[in-house]
Amino acid sequence: MARTSFTKPPKHPTTRVVVIGLGRFGASLAHELVEHGSEVLAIDADPRLVQQYSDELTHVAVADTTDPDALEQLGVADFPHAVVGIGSDLEASILTTSLLVDFRIPRIWAKANSRQHGRILERIGAHHVVLPEFDMGERIAHLVTGRMLDYIEFDDDYAMVRTTAPHAVIGTTLTESGLREHFDVTVVAIKRRGGEFTYATPETVVAHGDQLIVSGSIACVESFADLV
């Protein structure tokens, strides 16, 4: 019998990201990117912030990011990923994002301080709009009630939650519990007390104290969490 051999996948090339704005959001993001091996060019108009992070990030520069010549001199147009973390200056956020769109950068993320700000960024061409305060507020609201241990919401009305197994499903397999039929959700993983998360199967029997990771539409996972 022939043996199946597996080859190690080639190492991915270093991701190159330009981060514009070194406030709390931009600086934290830049740090995380560097920690994960990305090459980061961080730009801010404030020399003090640039000096503060000069020894921690790959490249830092002082520049007016609403000036296309300044961005061209820094080679911003050659980066495949860009993040606009400017928050307090609405005009600078919009103008900077517009310039990145003009440079045809393939992936542009932009931070917004309000939903209206976010809609403007989307209309001028930002591929992804991030609303940290709103997103975190929605997540914390779900956790405060105690029904969920964690909550992640995705696009297109889809979410995943971590919750304690409700009494109605304890002692039965996932197939017998009829979760898909009754709640239209899928149990993705299960964690026993003192153990680690493992993939759930139709034959998995749920025990008291188990934690479940459940996926489905937002309304469905919220209804399931209400059982707790």
pLDDT tens track for 61-81: 999 999 999 999 999 999 999
Domains and CATH numbers, the chain: 16-130 (3.40.50.720), 137-226 (3.30.70.1450)
Q: Is the predicted pLDDT of residue 10 greater than 50, yes or no? A: no
87-96, 102-111, 144-153, 191-200 — which is least confidently predicted? 144-153
Q: Is the pLDDT of residue 25 over 70?
A: yes
Strand 197-199 relative to strand 150-154: parallel, antiparallel, unpaired? unpaired
Q: How confident is the model at residue 35 (pLDDT cuts 50, 70, 90)?
A: confident
Tens digit of pLDDT for each residue in 123-178?
Answer: 999 999 988 877 776 676 667 666 788 888 886 788 899 999 988 889 999 988 88
Contact assessment for residue 125 and residue 103, using Cβ atoms and an 8 Å cutoff: no
Over the chain, what is the mean pLDDT? Answer: 87
Distance CA 49, CA 43 (A): 9
Answer whether 200's CB lies under 8 Å from 188's CB: yes
Nearest to 204 by CA among 174, 170, 161: 174
Cα gap 162→195, rounded to integer Å? 15
Closest among 125, 129, 124, 119 to 106, alpha carbons compared? 125
Closest C-alpha among 152, 116, 111 to residue 133 = 111
pLDDT greater at residue 88 or residue 211: 211
pLDDT at 13: 53
Its pTM surpasses 0.85 = no
Give the per-residue pLDDT at 142: 66
Gap between the Cα atoms of 175 and 182, Å rounded: 11
